[in-house]
């Protein structure tokens, strides 16, 4: 998932913003959904995409760690997966030299 957000310590990051990329891995039992073939029996991935996008675009934080932990808490508490891994990348961070991205990874439950 990719979103534009205004997270960072510097004033420039908060004014100009950056592209953030988010990976979400969830562990949950898919057997019921596979048998029923019904969206109500699984986690709606489009809804997860909207939740993550709203979180990144409607908030401002200093640290990418805060963004990753907030997304993980939100998904874990709303969708209750058995396990969860969230990776947040800030693309082209404002460091001297060349760096493609910084990445923070956090987990919940059994992954």
Chain-centre distance for alpha carbon 26: 12
Query: Which strands, in side-by-side order, build the sheet including 18-27?
Result: 2-5, 18-27, 83-91, 101-109
Is 90 one of the catalytic residues?
A: yes
pLDDT (tens digit, 9 = 90+) per residue, 96-108? Answer: 888 899 999 999 9
Q: What is the pLDDT of residues 43-97, one digit of tens each?
A: 999 999 999 999 999 999 999 999 999 999 999 999 999 999 999 999 988 878 8
**Level-2 CATH architecture, domain 2-109:** 2-Layer Sandwich (3.30)
Which phi-psi region, left, alpha or beta, contains residue 18 (left: φ > 0; alpha: ψ -120 to 50)? beta
Please name which of 2, 19, 24 lies closest in space to residue 100, comparing C-alpha atoms.
19
Taking the model in full, what pTM does it have?
0.93
CA 92 – CA 55 distance, rounded (Å): 20
Give me the phi and psi of 49, to 5 degrees please.
-55, -45
Cβ neighbors of 84 (< 8 A, separation 6 or more) are 24, 25, 26, 27, 72, 75, 76, 107, 108, 109, 111
pLDDT score of 92: 87
Burial of 26 per CB tally in 10 Å (0-12, 13-18, 19+): buried
Domain residue limits, the chain: 2-109
The mean per-residue pLDDT over the stretch 35-45 comes to 97
């Amino acid at each position: 998932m990719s979103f534009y957000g205004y997270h960072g310590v510097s004033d420039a990051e908060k004014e100009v913003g950056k592209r953030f990329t988010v990976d979400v891995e969830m562990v949950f039992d898919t057997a019921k959904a596979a048998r029923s073939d019904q969206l109500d029996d699984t986690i709606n991935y489009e809804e997860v995409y909207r939740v993550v996008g709203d979180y990144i675009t409607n908030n401002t934080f200093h640290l990418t760690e805060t963004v990753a932990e907030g997304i993980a808490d939100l998904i874990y508490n709303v969708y209750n997966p058995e396990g969860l891994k969230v990776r947040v990348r800030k693309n082209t961070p404002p460091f001297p030299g060349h760096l493609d991205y910084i990445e923070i990874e956090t987990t919940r439950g059994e992954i």
